[in-house]
């Protein structure tokens, strides 16, 4: 807690559009909405407002569309699947099998239900030496199942829930079988045809679901098929049922139509076990007695329940190993121009990108923050209330063009505690990011910078309004002076802000309220070569044409934590 790393968050401009979409809701006359409308006017960006949580991103998360010249955050890109794979075995899964097999790894990758560590298959006792010999007979499973899943971290193993496996491969299938009984397809008895074996449906929800589904299916078929269709408009034109329907439309009052009128068929209710109908067993005494027996330790924590694949586990012996969730690699497109702005290598094992227009390499200068005069000994590292402190913001330009930067901040930070902020040099320009070819220049400039730095170290260098502090190849440092607010909950204090004359909010300090965070509006302007690819032949003739670009966004700069004295 004591340590604090300065940070920069950038607000993606896409947030505006969503706000507009929302404020148009006139049916929701809440106060907050009115506030939002104010936000739209562009002045009061409050990084503390709850909504800005969702629109602020660290620079590394942002992409940049170089066709639209716009920042793209994870919320405003459209994504496409490239590869689906299991993070544990790195096996690639086809998107079609995703539909049938679900979103979990169906091989042998499992997570521990207790600690979510990876599980390994281990032989229980001595490996069954006779097993390979005996196993020819298809119908004779080895009676002594002797493989278990174990967690090497917490030493849980699957025998705790009574699960052992016959063979060390295909654990997923074996587990399904153990858990849900036989293959489910057998239970999907079509229709209500006589319940052959009512007990055959196990009490798992999956089986019930399948039973219900087939029940409804059969009901709707029996209840004349065309009746079901009539109200359903465009569905199923491609199915044979549509023919029937069309026939009945054109043939007028044929038999079918008459029949329907006379006797509207009613779908009946499910009422047998086979159809997925089940009376609840209201007797919970076994659960209660188990609770009594096992106490708190016998129940599972909510975190454990959350990672289970199915809901409903209550006791530790109801925890099942969790098959690994599949993961995807996805490429991202700009939603406006459909340009690909990020595309990974499709191979699972390759972590590189084919295309990646990250915002920090393509448009937005990185901002790094450090105190101008680090306090000797760096005691607590906290800012002291009401004492001016100066910070160096260093902007580093990733572009190959000179960039003109304009900064704006509110004079005081928003929120209950208003710290004062002064940017000493709100307008400056940063030199281009040098090409690698210009090595010599770099070296020369570096030497210059060195000299500058020496000068700075002499201490004569004073922060001066309107002047940048330091300049390098493609970077510029400026000074920001802050006067941290006092965190005392004292309405009479200067820095304590009361909203609109209402009751001062004297509730205790909230999380992160002690962080001095500066909302800063950054506007970049630069000239670059006109992008030929997009505009076409006419313009590409004049190769030297320069195009003026600009980009503006809000960012939130976390400077430091104010000490509470």
Question: Does 489 participate in binding other proteins (rule CB under 8 A)?
Answer: no
* Chain-centroid distance, C-alpha 425: 37
In the window 8-37, what residues touch other proteins (CB under 8 A)?
9, 18-19, 21-33, 36
x/- string (CB under 8 A) for other proteins, residues 82-111? --x-----------x-xx--xx--------
Q: Which of 327, 310, 319 is nearest to 115 (CA)?
A: 319
Question: Does 488 participate in binding other proteins (rule CB under 8 A)?
Answer: no
Instruction: In angstroms, give the least distance from the CB of 47 to other proteins.
Output: 9
Q: Which CB sits closer to other proteins, 203 or 317?
A: 203
80 vs 63: CA distance, rounded Å? 15
> For residue 342, what are the contacts with CB-CB under 8 A and spacing of at least 6?
63, 77, 331, 332, 353, 355, 356, 357, 358
Q: Which CB sits closer to other proteins, 325 or 382?
A: 325
Interface residue with other proteins among 53, 89, 258, 535 (CB under 8 A) is 53
Question: Does 135 participate in binding other proteins (rule CB under 8 A)?
Answer: no
Which tokens in the block code for residue 446? 């570096």
Q: Which of 471, 473, 514, 518 is nearest to 369 (CA)?
A: 518
Question: Does 269 participate in binding other proteins (rule CB under 8 A)?
Answer: yes
SS3 459: coil
In the window 288-317, what residues touch other proteins (CB under 8 A)?
288-292, 295-296, 299-302, 305-306, 309-314
Question: Does 241 participate in binding other proteins (rule CB under 8 A)?
Answer: yes
Q: How many CB atoms lie within 10 A of CB 370?
A: 11
Q: What is the dihedral of CA 466, 470, 475, 481, to 10 degrees?
A: -50
Q: Which CB sits closer to other proteins, 351 or 508?
A: 508
Question: Does 563 participate in binding other proteins (rule CB under 8 A)?
Answer: no
Interface residue with other proteins among 225, 381, 434, 456 (CB under 8 A) is 225
> For residue 275, what are the contacts with CB-CB under 8 A and spacing of at least 6?
192, 211, 212, 215
Question: Does 500 participate in binding other proteins (rule CB under 8 A)?
Answer: no
x/- string (CB under 8 A) for other proteins, residues 401-440? ----------------------------------------
In the window 321-340, what residues touch other proteins (CB under 8 A)?
325-328, 330
Question: Does 176 participate in binding other proteins (rule CB under 8 A)?
Answer: no
Interface residue with other proteins among 138, 255, 266, 460 (CB under 8 A) is 266
Whole-angstrom CA distances from 82 to 340, 344, 374 are: 12, 8, 48
Which tokens in the block code for residue 239? 């199915």
Question: Does 79 participate in binding other proteins (rule CB under 8 A)?
Answer: yes
Question: Does 80 participate in binding other proteins (rule CB under 8 A)?
Answer: yes
Interface residue with other proteins among 45, 57, 469, 521 (CB under 8 A) is 57
Instruction: In angstroms, give the least distance from the CB of 121 to other proteins.
Output: 26
Q: Which CB sits closer to other proteins, 236 or 375?
A: 236
Interface residue with other proteins among 229, 359, 383, 478 (CB under 8 A) is 229
* Chain-centroid distance, C-alpha 267: 43
15 vs 46: CA distance, rounded Å? 13
114 vs 320: CA distance, rounded Å? 9
Q: What is the dihedral of CA 206, 208, 212, 217, to 10 degrees?
A: 50
Question: Does 38 participate in binding other proteins (rule CB under 8 A)?
Answer: no
413 vs 482: CA distance, rounded Å? 10
Question: Does 215 participate in binding other proteins (rule CB under 8 A)?
Answer: yes
Q: Phi/psi at 60 (nearest 5 deg)?
A: -65, -20
> For residue 277, what are the contacts with CB-CB under 8 A and spacing of at least 6?
212, 269, 270, 271
Instruction: In angstroms, give the least distance from the CB of 259 to other proteins.
Output: 12
Instruction: In angstroms, give the least distance from the CB of 54 to other proteins.
Output: 4
Q: Which of 327, 462, 476 is nearest to 394 (CA)?
A: 476
Element (H or E) spanning 359, and its range? Answer: helix 359-362
Binding piece for other proteins, criterion CB under 8 A, among 75-83, 120-128, 154-162, 428-436: 75-83
Interface residue with other proteins among 108, 157, 219, 397 (CB under 8 A) is 219
Interface residue with other proteins among 129, 511, 544, 565 (CB under 8 A) is 511
Instruction: In angstroms, give the least distance from the CB of 531 to other proteins.
Output: 25
Question: Does 212 participate in binding other proteins (rule CB under 8 A)?
Answer: yes
Question: What residues pair up with 524 in beta bridges, in sequence order?
Answer: 405, 551
Element (H or E) spanning 323, and its range? Answer: strand 322-323
Binding piece for other proteins, criterion CB under 8 A, among 117-125, 249-257, 503-511, 540-548: 503-511
Q: Which CB sits closer to other proteins, 81 or 123?
A: 81
Instruction: In angstroms, give the least distance from the CB of 194 to other proteins.
Output: 10
Q: Which CB sits closer to other proteins, 24 or 336?
A: 24
Question: Does 233 participate in binding other proteins (rule CB under 8 A)?
Answer: yes
How deeply is 347 buried, as exposed, middle or buried, from its count of CB atoms within 10 A (0-12, 13-18, 19+)? middle
| DSSP conformational letter for 401 | S
């Amino acid at each position: 807690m004591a340590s604090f790393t300065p940070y920069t968050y950038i607000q993606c401009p896409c947030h505006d559009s969503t706000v507009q979409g929302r404020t148009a809701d006139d049916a929701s006359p809440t106060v907050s909405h009115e506030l939002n409308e104010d936000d739209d006017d562009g002045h009061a960006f409050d990084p503390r407002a709850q909504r800005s949580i969702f629109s602020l991103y660290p620079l590394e998360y942002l992409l940049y569309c170089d066709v639209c010249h716009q920042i793209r955050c994870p919320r405003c890109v459209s994504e496409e699947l490239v590869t689906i794979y299991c993070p544990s075995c790195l096996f690639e899964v086809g998107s079609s099998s995703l539909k049938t097999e679900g979103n979990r790894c169906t091989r042998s990758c499992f997570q521990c239900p207790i600690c979510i560590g990876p599980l390994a298959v281990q032989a229980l006792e001595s490996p069954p030496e006779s097993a390979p010999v005996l196993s020819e007979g298809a119908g004779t499973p080895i009676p002594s199942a002797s493989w278990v899943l174990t967690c090497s971290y917490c030493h849980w193993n699957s025998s705790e829930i009574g699960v052992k496996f016959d063979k060390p491969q295909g654990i997923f299938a074996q587990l399904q079988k153990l858990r849900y009984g036989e293959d489910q397809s057998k239970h999907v008895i079509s229709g209500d045809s006589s319940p052959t074996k009512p007990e055959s449906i196990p009490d798992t929800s999956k089986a019930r679901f399948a039973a219900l589904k087939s029940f409804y299916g059969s009901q709707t078929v029996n209840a004349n098929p065309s009746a079901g269709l009539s109200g359903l408009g465009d569905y199923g034109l491609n199915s044979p049922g549509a023919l029937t329907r069309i026939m009945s439309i054109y043939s007028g009052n044929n038999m079918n139509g008459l029949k329907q009128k006379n006797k509207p068929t009613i779908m009946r209710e499910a009422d047998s076990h086979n159809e997925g109908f089940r009376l609840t067993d209201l007797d919970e005494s076994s659960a209660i007695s188990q609770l009594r027996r096992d106490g708190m330790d016998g129940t599972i924590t909510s975190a454990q329940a959350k990672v289970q694949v199915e809901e409903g586990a209550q006791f530790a012996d109801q925890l099942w190993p969790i098959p690994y969730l599949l993961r995807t690699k996805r490429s991202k497109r700009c939603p406006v121009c459909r340009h690909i702005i990020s595309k990974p290598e499709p191979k699972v094992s390759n972590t590189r990108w084919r295309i990646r227009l990250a915002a920090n390499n393509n448009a937005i200068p990185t901002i790094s923050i450090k105190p101008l005069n680090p306090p000797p000994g760096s005691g607590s590292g906290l800012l002291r209330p009401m004492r001016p402190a100066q910070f160096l913001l260093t902007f580093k330009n990733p572009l190959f063009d000179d960039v003109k930067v304009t900064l704006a901040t509110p004079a005081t930070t928003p929120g209950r505690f208003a710290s004062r902020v002064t940017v000493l040099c709100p307008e400056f320009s940063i030199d281009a990011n040098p090409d690698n070819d210009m090595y010599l220049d770099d070296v020369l400039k570096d030497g210059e910078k060195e000299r500058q730095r020496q000068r700075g170290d002499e201490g004569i260098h004073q922060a001066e309004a309107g002047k940048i502090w330091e300049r390098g190849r493609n970077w510029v440092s400026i000074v920001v002076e802050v006067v941290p607010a006092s965190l005392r909950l004292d309405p009479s204090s200067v820095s304590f802000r009361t909203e609109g004359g209402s009751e001062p909010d004297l509730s205790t300090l909230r999380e992160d309220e002690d962080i001095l965070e500066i909302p800063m509006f950054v506007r970049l302007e630069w000239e670059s070569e006109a992008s030929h690819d997009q505009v076409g032949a006419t313009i590409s003739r004049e190769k030297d044409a320069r195009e003026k670009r600009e980009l503006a966004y809000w960012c939130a700069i976390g400077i430091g934590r104010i000490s509470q004295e």
